[in-house]
Amino acid sequence: MQEVEPRANRPSLDDAVAICRQAGTRLTPLRRRVLALLLEADGPVTAYGLLDRLRAERSATPAGIYRSLDFLLANGLAHRLESRKAFVACVHPDHPHVSQFLICRSCGTAVELEDDRIASVVGEWSRKLGFQVEAETLEVSGSCADCSRS
């Protein structure tokens, strides 16, 4: 099981540039700025939340934001949280992995976990049932430690 990493140990834009270079892709200025906003965010951000932030700085369109997010998702630099219709920067973009998220219903905080045991159980049951997995992200909602104390 991967440890939850503190905010200070999150990947940087330089890490993302190196990952893209190794993959033969590149971070365009808009992709770079979208990723920077995700890295700076305290929680999940919607595409329109990103658009609102970028409109103040430059002309950005919904299509440009969604293309940038699609690129970040395809290259393992971000994750989409289906339950929130929002995005977060990947904590471990240096390697492919199946992520699990603990999402606080009160404050919206989302903590990325990476536990191969969970992925293994899902894979085992999928094989037993003949189920073809297309996407695998587990989202668990509840209350974070701070909100539980309130």
Domain housing 128? 99-149
The predicted model gives 63-75 an average pLDDT of 95
Q: Are residues 59 and 109 in the same domain?
A: no
Q: Are residues 69 and 31 in the same domain?
A: yes
Q: Are residues 118 and 66 in the same domain?
A: no
Which tens digit of pLDDT belongs to each residue from 104-128?
Answer: 999 999 999 888 898 899 999 999 9
Q: Tell me, yes or no, whether 2 lies in a domain.
A: no
The 3-state DSSP class for residue 76 equals coil
Q: Which of 49, 66, 89 represents a domain boundary (last residue)? A: 89
Q: Are residues 82 and 49 in the same domain?
A: yes
Do residues 90 and 76 make contact, with C-beta atoms less than 8 angstroms apart? Answer: yes
What pLDDT score does 1 carry?
47
What pLDDT score does 6 carry?
45
Which tens digit of pLDDT belongs to each residue from 5-61?
Answer: 444 457 788 889 999 999 999 999 999 999 999 999 989 999 999 999 998 777 788
Q: Is 75 left (phi over 0), alpha (psi -120 to 50) or beta?
A: alpha
Q: Tell me, yes or no, whether 144 lies in a domain.
A: yes
Q: Which of 89, 116, 139 represents a domain boundary (last residue)? A: 89
Alpha carbon distance 98, 31 (integer Å): 23
Q: Any residues with CB less than 8 A from the CB of 143 and at least 6 apart, and which?
A: 104, 105, 106
- Domain CATH number, residue 145: 3.30.1490.190
What's the structural domain count of the chain? 2
Q: Tell me, yes or no, whether 57 lies in a domain.
A: yes
